[in-house]
Chains A and B, each alone.
Chain A
Amino acid sequence: QSALTQPPSASGSPGQSVTISCTGTSSDVGGYNYVSWYLQYPGKAPKLMIYEVSKRPSGVPDRFSGSKSGNTASLTVSGLQAEDEADYYCTSYAGSVGGVIFGGGTKLTVL
């Protein structure tokens, strides 16, 4: 069970858009529409931002959007704000044996 692959870092200026990728295999990301994205501030618990590839929980701004193509899922943050600076993690369901797999995390910096 290997971790999903995320870029270690991403950055953008306020107002810009940034996209973070999450690459897995046909056994996880590509096999199910069950990709989630989490935002984590230092010293805090992760917060669910996207589930089922592209759905937003109540209260999450529509600046956050998700998509998937093949074995790669993506999180796009539009209209970057200073408060978006955080670590972002993707997860995917990997079947009844694999359970849930996390990505390695991406540190988003707002320049």
Chain B
Amino acid sequence: AQRVTQPEKLLSVFKGAPVELKCNYSYSGSPELFWYVQYSRQRLQLLLRHISRESIKGFTADLNKGETSFHLKKPFAQEEDSAMYYCALGPGGYQKVTFGIGTKLQVIP
């Protein structure tokens, strides 16, 4: 069974502080991992995916298969990063994507 765990419902950090949003997954096959973000009054949108190995808006995430984790990191938080962040697992192909419960990131000025 696919499962995504985001242990923190709310994460508050000060502007300029490092951010780490935790995500752990459970899947027996080869996973595709994503981070989606929903800013206030906007639709859910893709932030990044592990196979791209890219940095978007200063965020990075590394897939650690040994720890089954895909934590989202940013060295210096900005106020505009405040949003809901969802980790998602998609096996690929025609399989469904499973979401975590989401973590609300609050960046304090």
Question: Does chain A bind chain B?
Answer: no
Residues of A within 8 A of B (CB): none
